[in-house]
Structure 1
């Protein structure tokens, strides 16, 4: 996304600069910092445009979905014979909650919906750049 927003495949000296963005983002270990990098670029790029407000909504959704993803990926999970159709999420304080397949599917659906929303947003940003409404 950043590569396309900051110029795509033909920026610089005529070469593909995607390797720079991929290198930087690959070294950043947390999603919060990655979002902050994108936010820093877009805040300046999109100031005084309607796209800035749309980005603010998407940014908030990104943080929510990132937290949701982290719960699924990094939680401690267990299985119990008392709940054969669910898994137990065990939180750091020992609190347990039951998750069923639908919980995981709902989280996946929310993340995929956001992915589609981000792609649609990126198209708007690229079009705005092409039309001169946003200057790089």
Structure 2
């Protein structure tokens, strides 16, 4: 499986092209990221690529290996997650004047790449790519 793309806009920015697209991951994320985004966007290379965070994940484009990578904010944990946890929320009692907040232990640290074979088939990121 691979990425799928829905191009939203094609623009010209000086001598470069700018493409806005929704990129959907598949059901088995490969370690190191997904290859082939340049071809899917009909571009010969990227000068810059920005991918919006979605569903608690962050994205980074590896320009050296030409792969779109997904990261999970683990708070310094050592294991790469293959099953993503739902975000913690706020709960309140009906008719009460108080709000109970589910405590979330936060430990600063770098995000970890999503684990190999993680199912990201419901994850869509909006990208802006500038290049040839």
Common fold: TM-score over 0.5: no
Question: Relative to total residues, which structure has the larger helix share, 1 or 2?
Answer: 1
Structure showing the higher strand proportion among its residues = 2
> Higher relative contact order by CA 8 Å / sep ≥ 6: 1 or 2?
2
TM-score w.r.t. the length of structure 1 is 0.27
Q: Which one has the largest radius of gyration? A: 1
